[in-house]
A and B are shown apart, each in its own frame.
Chain A
Amino acid sequence: MKKVTEGLKAVAESVALCRPDVISAYPITPQTHIVEELAQIVADGKLKCEFINVESEFSAASTVLGASAAGARAYTATSSQGLLLMMEVLYNMAGMRLPVVITDANRAVSAPINIWSDWQDAITVRDAGLIMMYAEDNQDCCDMHYQAFKIAEDPDVQLPVMVNMDGFILTHAFDPIDFPSQADVDKYLPKYKPLDFLSANNPRSFGLMGGPDRYLETRYAMAETFKSITPVILKAADDFKKMFGRYSGGMIEEYRMEDAETVLVSMGSTISDLKEAVDTMREKGKKIGVLKIRILRPYPAAEIKKALGKCKRVICVEKAISLGGPGILAAELKSAIYANANKPEVSNFIIGLGGRDVKQEHIFELVEKAEKGVCETEFIGLDKKLVEEMDK
């Protein structure tokens, strides 16, 4: 039975169903309701778990790192500045192959200080060695969490997984959510069996120095692991469907792309905006579709390459920017399709930074612009008057 639940609380309930042994977190908007709800679930005795309040996100990440190394299923959630404060730990956690699950409520990065949604926080840590999933809606986001633990803890993976949900747009939205039963989740996600862990009964050393004679091979092993994660992600979704009756998975998702000449590419909740706009444009006869990047790491290059094999034009719609560089989604996408015989034009637009509303008219505008010629890192939805004032 579906229950109308706020996005963050829905995530908290889903995480609780995964029975983490240790949760550690630090408050930051718009993530806080997750850890508040989890704290309450633990306080009510509904989940047997060590809930640890710490003095910073840096320590939250470090605490779950330590817990995971000692053999516990561990979870944390954060956002924006908090994620950046965790950054050093995230690289370390991945390098130590610790399967922690992290939720990031995607939010802009200061300055100016801004608590609203965009993707700059998580996109900034994309090289850390985390598996990165982007939720389109809150049911998707909940389902990703059950799968995230399964993927992270797979003996062939052993890497942290980050589930991304757009701040406010998803985190604070109330939706009917289908929660599985505890018994079913227990079947889908049995107790975590670490390959190796800190134990006085089997003393081993973790986190050794790897000099020039070993570092390269260690990083190579990680890179090789990333090449073989896709089947694990797909299987986690297939198993999920078998158990719970709905499919929420895939590396990418194609929407109305069968004869599309123009394809809009994006992630997260923006996909819903794009789908709506595409429906409208389709009614007017435009051959246009949407490609959703559901998993950003490992980057689904082969899937994207195949999906964009026939179209004439690709438009990347991005809520983050690499200042002084090319559009991030666009740059990665271009490299993925470089070997294609058919090379579509690739435009990219920056929209919705810092919580600016993305309106349907903005999407129509950017499609129109891209149809006139390739656009590089062009901002849509600017307040022209304010830009002029700032220019003075």
Chain B
Amino acid sequence: MTTQTAENVKLFNSGHTACAGCGLALAARLVLQATGPKVIIVNATGCLEVFTTRSPQTAWGVPWIHSLFENQAAVATGVEAALRALGRGDEARVIAWGGDGASADIGFGGISGMWERYDDVLYICYDNEAYMNTGIQRSGLTPFKGHTSTSPAGKASLGNMKQKKNIPAIAVAHGLPYVATATVGYPKDLERKVKKAMEFKGPRYLQILVPCPLGWGHATSDTITMSKLAVESGLNPIFEYIDGKLATAMTVKQKPVEEYLKPQARFKHLFRDAAGAEQVKLIQEIANNNFAKFKVEAVK
């Protein structure tokens, strides 16, 4: 099933059906702004695919393919292999996109395979910290104590029991030449990292935190504020690893985690009683550990 795009369109067009305040739509535009037109996008099933390509319309001004929820890495491998086999290697670079569910959970085996094969694919995980497209269910990247529809807070539970799966560390362990995190609240940093990633051959990993007003339960006008608070709280460190070594980490003035948690409905159960307050202390510890690990000067 294909549909053509109008001539001379932008690489990522408006008119799609993303929710108001969607951090992901912003990320998609910023990424393509950084790569330019010579890319082929392989998109896992999820919000990005759903809101950009309701047939016969498409928001994409670059070649784009969606196959399934969990095969974006292997499809990207195939596209990249075809370009080489057909002598079209200079035509475009391949980028695979998947959400946190498609990347950390259902599609993870395929991603590990692609990294091990060392295919020349930039893998971008857009992390909105739950299965937002299907109604805010818990994923492997849902934060500690976050309420989702499948890790609900209740009398016997204070939300998600696990910490986020550390995909960047797993990526580094695969020997990737470039691994980085970014978020839409710092667009220049995001664009720089996409450009940097494109300087390397082989598999690269970029994890972009994208606030989701619907799933996180914050005002649609606060997407950028929440993105920045996610970093300033220390809960989502922004860094890059080059050839397995920490190359840069974003230095920010630390803010207490409450400032990040309180405006979000998914954490409101933590501010009702003493049991919740205990959990907030644990979350502060996670943040403090992140600061200890990543608050470093850039390596020249």
Which residues from chain A sit less than 8 Å from chain B, CB to CB?
Answer: 21-22, 24, 48-50, 52-56, 58-60, 62-72, 74, 88-89, 92, 95-97, 196, 198-211, 214, 218
Given the complex of chains A and B, what is the CA–CA distance between A202 and B109 in angstroms?
32
A24-B78, A209-B50 known, 20 other contacts, Cβ within 8 Å: A21-B85, A50-B81, A55-B110, A55-B116, A62-B75, A66-B79, A70-B40, A70-B82, A71-B82, A72-B85, A89-B67, A198-B65, A199-B63, A200-B39, A200-B63, A203-B37, A208-B2, A208-B3, A208-B66, A209-B55
Contacts of A202 in B (CB 8 A): 63
B134 CB-CB contact with A under 8 Å: no
* Complex: chain B residue closest to A198, CB-CB: B63
- Min CB distance A18 to B, Å, is 14
Given A22-B85, A204-B3: A59 and B113 interface contact (C-beta under 8 Å):
yes
Give the interface size bracket for B toward A.
35 or more
Given the complex of chains A and B, what is the CA–CA distance between A214 and B2 in angstroms?
12
15 of the cross-chain contacts (CB-CB < 8 Å) are A58-B74, A59-B71, A63-B81, A66-B76, A67-B81, A68-B78, A72-B78, A72-B85, A196-B2, A200-B62, A203-B60, A206-B2, A206-B65, A208-B1, A218-B1
Quick check: B1 and A89 within 8 Å, CB to CB?
Answer: no
Given A58-B74, A214-B56: A66 and B1 interface contact (C-beta under 8 Å):
no
* Complex: chain A residue closest to B57, CB-CB: A208
Given the complex of chains A and B, what is the CA–CA distance between A72 and B55 in angstroms?
25
Quick check: B67 and A209 within 8 Å, CB to CB?
Answer: no
Contacts of A70 in B (CB 8 A): 40, 78-79, 82-83, 86
Quick check: A55 and B40 within 8 Å, CB to CB?
Answer: no
B54 CB-CB contact with A under 8 Å: yes
Quick check: A64 and B78 within 8 Å, CB to CB?
Answer: yes
- Min CB distance A103 to B, Å, is 18
Cross-chain pair count, CB within 8 angstroms: 186
Given A205-B2, A205-B3, A210-B55: A66 and B65 interface contact (C-beta under 8 Å):
yes
- Min CB distance A112 to B, Å, is 26
Quick check: B5 and A203 within 8 Å, CB to CB?
Answer: yes
* Complex: chain B residue closest to A56, CB-CB: B109
Contacts of A92 in B (CB 8 A): 67-68
Which of A55, A92, A207, A214 has the most C-beta atoms of chain B within 10 angstroms of its own C-beta? A207
Quick check: B91 and A200 within 8 Å, CB to CB?
Answer: yes
* Complex: chain A residue closest to B81, CB-CB: A50
> What mask results when residues 109 to 139 of chain B are scored 1 for a CB within 8 Å of chain A, else 0?
1101100110000000000000000000000
Given the complex of chains A and B, what is the CA–CA distance between A63 and B74 in angstroms?
5
Which of B2, B40, B50, B116 has the most C-beta atoms of chain A within 10 angstroms of its own C-beta? B2
Quick check: A52 and B71 within 8 Å, CB to CB?
Answer: no
- Min CB distance A173 to B, Å, is 32
Quick check: B82 and A72 within 8 Å, CB to CB?
Answer: yes
Given the complex of chains A and B, what is the CA–CA distance between A336 and B153 in angstroms?
57
Given the complex of chains A and B, what is the CA–CA distance between A95 and B66 in angstroms?
12
Within 8 A of A (CB), among B57-106: 58, 60-68, 70-71, 73-86, 88, 91-92
Quick check: A67 and B37 within 8 Å, CB to CB?
Answer: no
- Min CB distance A41 to B, Å, is 15
Quick check: A209 and B85 within 8 Å, CB to CB?
Answer: no
Contacts of A74 in B (CB 8 A): 78, 82
Quick check: A204 and B79 within 8 Å, CB to CB?
Answer: no
Given the complex of chains A and B, what is the CA–CA distance between A97 and B85 in angstroms?
21
B38 CB-CB contact with A under 8 Å: yes
Q: Which residue of the partner chain, among B37, B54, B71, B113, contacts A209 with CB atoms under 8 Å? A: B54
Given the complex of chains A and B, what is the CA–CA distance between A97 and B67 in angstroms?
12
Q: Which residue of the partner chain, among A62, A68, A214, contacts B71 with CB atoms under 8 Å? A: A62
Which of B39, B55, B61 has the most C-beta atoms of chain A within 10 angstroms of its own C-beta? B55
B149 CB-CB contact with A under 8 Å: no
- Min CB distance A67 to B, Å, is 4
* Complex: chain B residue closest to A200, CB-CB: B92
Given the complex of chains A and B, what is the CA–CA distance between A64 and B79 in angstroms?
8
B284 CB-CB contact with A under 8 Å: no
Given A96-B1, A209-B53: A69 and B65 interface contact (C-beta under 8 Å):
yes
